[in-house]
Amino acid sequence: MNWLRFGNPELLHLLWLVPPLIFLLLFGLRQKQRALRQFHTGVDPGHLQRHKIQAGLLLLSYLFVVLAMARPQWGAKSEAVAERLDVMLALDVSTSMLAEDDKSVRRLAHAKEMMLSLLDALEGDRIGLLYFAESSFVVCPLTSDTGTLREFLAAVTADTLVHSGTRIGNAIEIATERLISDQKDTGIASDFGGQKVLILFTDGEDHGGDAVAAAKAATGEGVYIYCIGIGDPIRAVPIPLQSGVATEATPYKRDTSGQLVLTALDETHLQEIAKEGNGNYHHATAGITELATDLARLEKQKFRIRADGEYQDRFQLFVAGALVLLICEVLHFTLWSRRSQR
């Protein structure tokens, strides 16, 4: 009975007195009936019936008083129905995101700029944040608090990027699992759920090889995947080493043979992922306009917010019921007394 609860449920133990009271009342009435028949003749049958009515009214009033003291509560506010998307933003934090494709702007800074703009467009939706490279981890679960998300994004700087590899497939798997689990929030009705969306901000470099298969599996769970390409797909650029590692002689990353490591945006790979994920691919230079248009086309799913904690005390009804029963008992006794005197 999720719709009913008691503020003082321990007082309901007083209801155990009801059976003994019923037994005592019936026993008393039977003894009185025997005594009247033994010492009086022509006993009015209605006399004992009136006593039964009085006893019943008093017993019911006791029941109502106990229930009132237990503070019954119900009448929760009707469940609010709203619409929203559940969006997981996935940011590539591998060292290739340190590369500068144009105007000395790092890929990381460009991706963060886009994500911050997108937060404004997704106002009212639930948004989560995931970082990925050779491994993936959710830094913020689905939330409507965009302020917290902005703080997490601000904390990611070039000095924090230490991961050299990238596994996009793992990021898709982790994001999908979290999108599904976060929808099982206790405040959301289980028969509704927001549309699940994953947006990858990455240069497309992938050392896992299972991203397309992971995207196809995610669509089976109802997840839409969009890819935002960060970088230049034509011109490959070197990857700057982090401060403290770079030197004047070797400012860029090199492989084990001493060759300069170059990185370029892999648009083809990201387009394949987006296609299998029932989404679209967009280049970061287009801004968020096209992406926001795509998200607006998705049918936002309705969800219900349970009104747990909005129960209201209803003991007044039981107090009123007890008073009505007592008044009826008094009136019954008064009318019976007057009739007896005639």
**Tell me, what amino acid is at 151?**
E
Which of 199, 197, 242, 264 minimizes the C-alpha distance to 224?
197
Output the pTM of the full model.
0.65
pLDDT, position 80: 58
Query: How far is it, in rounded angstroms, from Cα 262 to Cα 48?
Result: 104
Of 216 and 39, the structure prediction assigns the larger pLDDT to: 216
Lowest mean pLDDT among 29-38, 147-156, 245-254, 262-271: 245-254
What value does the mean pLDDT take over residues 34-58? 67
- Average pLDDT value for the chain: 82
Query: How far is it, in rounded angstroms, from Cα 25 to Cα 30?
Result: 9
The total of other beta-carbon atoms located within 10 Å of residue 117's CB is 15
The total of other beta-carbon atoms located within 10 Å of residue 273's CB is 29
- Name, in order, each residue with C-beta under 8 angstroms of 46's C-beta and a sequence gap of 6 or more: none
pLDDT, position 46: 58
Residue 244, pLDDT > 80, answer: no
Query: For 267-318, what is each residue's pLDDT tens digit?
Result: 999 999 999 999 999 999 888 999 999 998 887 766 555 555 567 788 888 8
What value does the mean pLDDT take over residues 66-93? 80
Of 195 and 244, the structure prediction assigns the larger pLDDT to: 195
pLDDT, position 50: 73
Torsion, Cα of 117, 171, 210, 294 (10° steps): -30
Instruction: Evaluate whether 194 touches 125 at the Cβ level (below 8 Å).
Output: yes
Which of 138, 269, 141, 248 minimizes the C-alpha distance to 203?
269
* Dihedral sign for Cα atoms in the order 158, 163, 165, 168: negative
pLDDT, position 37: 65
Q: Which helix (H) or strand (E) holds 89?
A: strand 80-92
Backbone angles phi, psi at 81, to 5 degrees: -115, 125
What value does the mean pLDDT take over residues 209-214? 91
Residue 95, pLDDT > 60, answer: yes
pLDDT, position 114: 93
Which of 140, 176, 175, 157 minimizes the C-alpha distance to 93?
157
pLDDT, position 190: 44
pLDDT, position 25: 76
